[in-house]
Amino acid sequence: MSQAPSPLWRSRSLIIIIALTALIPFALAWYYAKHPELIDKTSNYGTLISPPRSLDLLPWLESEGAGEKPEESLKGRWVLLQVAKGPCAEVCAETLYKTHQGWLMLNKEMPRVKRLLLLADASQARNTPAIIQDDALQTASLAPAVMELLTTAIGQPPGEGTVILVDPLGNLVLWYDTGFDPYRMVKDLKHLLKASQIG
């Protein structure tokens, strides 16, 4: 038969366990402070725009036609922003379709989000089927100053299939490159809308 642990051994074991319980969190904190890349992983699908950029779109927008003006439509809303530097061709039209489907997937949150296509020439909207058939899309002219700011913010000129998410305060939040997955974009949006106290 083995002998039962002595009271002294049990006391020492208890002291060691208490000491480890107190020291382990500090050791982990120190380790992760030295290796931040191990925890610097975000759950969002889109690329975070860092450093943060602010873009007051409204003064730069010129709408085409007599429909709802950008300042009426976009103020205080989340905006899915897309750019077309020329005619809205195949990639542009495909991206419009994906953002439209994503917007529909928001269900009751749809009114909080708007979609905006900036065109080099807003009059092109009248001749583009993908735009004409999309009643939920806002179009406007693309000012060179806005293009420059977007390019700086994402580190490259936005392509025909690039989508940039703008929050209700005008902050550029996330961007999605050509070929993005609309389902994962919607997951980002739902998370932000749930957490947001604005828009």
pLDDT digits (tens, 9 = 90+) for 159-188: 989 999 999 988 999 999 999 999 999 999
Tokens in use for 32?
Answer: 């992760």
Instruction: Name, in order, each residue with C-beta under 8 angstroms of 81's C-beta and a sequence gap of 6 or more.
Output: 57, 116, 118, 150, 163, 164, 165, 166
> Domain for residue 77, yes or no?
yes
Which one, of 138, 139, 78, lies nearest residue 113 by Cα? Answer: 78
Arithmetic mean of pLDDT, 141-158: 91
The residue length of the chain stands at: 199
Arithmetic mean of pLDDT, 113-137: 86
> Domain for residue 130, yes or no?
yes
What is each CA distance from 106 to 49, 79, 111, 188, in whole angstroms? 23, 13, 9, 11
What is each CA distance from 141 to 23, 63, 122, 124, 179, in whole angstroms? 60, 7, 5, 10, 24
pLDDT digits (tens, 9 = 90+) for 11-60: 777 788 887 777 776 666 666 556 554 544 557 899 999 888 888 776 66
The model's pTM:
0.74
Alpha-carbon span 184 to 120, nearest angstrom: 29
Q: Does residue 31 sit in the same domain as residue 87?
A: no
Q: For 56-70, 118-132, 173-187, which range has the lowest pLDDT when averaged over its residues?
A: 56-70
Q: Does residue 142 sit in the same domain as residue 52?
A: yes
> Domain for residue 121, yes or no?
yes
> Domain for residue 126, yes or no?
yes
Alpha-carbon span 79 to 73, nearest angstrom: 10
Q: Which domain holds residue 178?
A: 47-195
Give the chain's domain count.
Answer: 2
Q: Does residue 54 sit in the same domain as residue 34?
A: no
Q: Provide the 8-state DSSP code for 75.
A: T
> Domain for residue 139, yes or no?
yes
Tokens in use for 29?
Answer: 């904190």
Alpha-carbon span 44 to 41, nearest angstrom: 9
**pLDDT at res. 86:** 84
